[in-house]
Chain A
Amino acid sequence: MLPNEIYDKLKTEFGDAVIEFDDKQPTDPFILISADNLFDICHTLRDKDEFLFDYLMCLTWMDFAENVGVVYHLYSMVFKHKIVLKVIVPKSDPKVPSVEMIWRTADWHEREAYDLIGVQFEGHHNPIRILCPYDWEGHPLRKDYEAPEYYHGMKVSY
């Protein structure tokens, strides 16, 4: 199924929750959806017979000055089609529903996203840091991040 067909089907089912479809080259076509309906849309995409997106290739994020975007790359093992979902939330209150219950691979990806950009995944069973030390402060991949001068009395050289 082509990305625009997937968009049309989602639009009829979820209405305003599906905000925008973008297929301007050279960007991969993506669908922008609202954070509130993310879990339902992902659930539909995995379980409905015409989509069957059973493979979450990648979960990543983007820093847009005021906002944070979370990007989901989905793939279907059965139909071999793919789609990119995007959610944009304000940086002051970055709350996104967790999709860990749908694709269990999202567990570590979401922990990484929390660790490095500070997105709060609501419903995640264990939202702790994964790459940085557990007591690290700040979220390093934010563009405005400044490394602390000292960590446990040791000078942070970078």
Chain B
Amino acid sequence: MSDKKRLDLEYSQLESDRMRINVGPQHPSTHGVLRLEVEVEGEIVTEVVPHLGYLHRCFEKHCEKMTYPQVLPYIDRLDYISAMNNEWPYVMALEKLMDIKVPDKVEYIRVIMAELNRIANHQIAVATFGLDAGAFTPFLFFFRDREYIIWILEKMSGARLLYNYFRVGGLAADVYPGFKEDCLNIVKQVRKTNAEVMDLLIYNKIFIQRSANVGILMPDVAINFACSGPVLRGSGVKYDLRKDEPYSIYDRFDFDIPVGTGEVGVVGDCWNRNIVRVYEMEQSCRIIEQAVAQMPDEGDVKALVPKRIRPPKGEVYMRAENPKGDLGFYIVSNGTDKPERIKARGSSFVNLSVIPEISKGYMFADLILILGSIDIVLGEVDR
């Protein structure tokens, strides 16, 4: 290793007016245990070096020792804010390997669960982004609403955050009585809060001055860095797997893909990345309304769940649109009940790699805001 370039520069190489600041790993604004080594000139950021691995827990190594159903709870812990969404590509990949066609009712419940969890995730993302910019009230509004969503998910799965609810070929439990009414009430409440937050936070002059024209990510750079989710759409690229490569039953719903338009600031800045999340909540509400209306009442959600999961030899890469971006699972099966290899391609990991690129030349305080607008969760970065 000695002949290779290390990230830690020699301190003697620094010029006199440059300073090296350590942010994290224990720091509230890094949204987890992320450590950033920041070089500043005065108050201008000249270089950012992220150091990862503080939450590395050998997810992929563990998977090789476990059977397929045992892997599922660990997948919840990747992006622990949107656990329902995480489970989906994994069970889809296994269903593709085993050639299982999932019943309609299961698909509808999965869509509703995933969209509810998407709203909950975006509420946290927008709330903590506001918190980074110094706005405390929207944080409380969103966390109040999120609790109602969590209650629905808890009634369905029995757990508050880490659900372990999806099964290969089905689900762990059927819907409870009154599920549809609960969903429609949530949708109403989400819309009401969003309207409030639009006035209170999004179009607030202080917030705009703080977040517009900061951390600009050009669309071609975003594609080259393989960014996905709101980070890519905030740069004006209309790319959403639910439309571009419709998995499950997303082709049955009528919804739009919001992109950053540069209505305030320029396309690809922090404000535009943030507004995409707010608009996506509205689109999720639309999907939930349609799914609740179309969902069949009859059907057994456990009918097709196999007793033993033994996929045939083969390998498959399946991805789904998570709140934070594409989550892909590369599963290699060797014909036994334990996987040969599971790779999780986390969107946070990829989206975070763009930080050194887009934060150069901004103020140090803006770096925290840029990090907040990327919306990472360290469980998925470090795996």
Contacts and interface: CB of A to CB of B under 8 A. Distances in A.
B324 interface: no
B328 A58 contact: yes
Interface in B335-365: 340-341, 343, 345, 349-350, 353, 357
B315 A57 contact: no
A54, A55, A63 pick with most chain B CB within 10 angstroms: A55
Nearest to B64: A143
Q: How large is the interface on A (under 10, 10 to 19, 20 to 34, 35 or more residues)?
A: 35 or more
A24 B96 CA distance: 14
Contact of A84 (B99, B317, B328, B340): B317
A28 B58 contact: no
A25 B226 CA distance: 28
A84 B245 CA distance: 17
B56 interface: yes
Secondary structure at chain B's binding surface: helix, strand, loop or mixed? mixed
B314 interface: yes
Q: How large is the interface on B (under 10, 10 to 19, 20 to 34, 35 or more residues)?
A: 35 or more
Contacts of B192: none
Nearest to B328: A58
Contacts of B146: none
Interface stretch (A3-11, A13-21, A35-43, A128-136): A128-136
A58, A77, A125 pick with most chain B CB within 10 angstroms: A58
B244 interface: yes
Contacts of A107: 353
Contact of A54 (B223, B244, B343, B353): B223
Contacts of A25: 314
Contact of A26 (B60, B244, B312, B326): B312
A26 B314 contact: yes
A132 B52 CA distance: 8
A60 B343 CA distance: 7
A153 B224 CA distance: 42
Interface string B57-75: 0101100100000000000
Contacts of A62: 332, 340-341
B5 A77 contact: no
B239 interface: yes
A73 B53 contact: no
Contact of A130 (B53, B237, B245, B314): B53
11 contacts: A55-B226, A57-B326, A57-B328, A58-B343, A58-B345, A60-B330, A60-B345, A105-B224, A126-B4, A130-B53, A131-B53
Q: Enumerate the 4 nearest inter-chain pairs by beta-carbon distance, A residue then B residue, closest first.
A: A105-B226, A27-B314, A60-B343, A58-B345
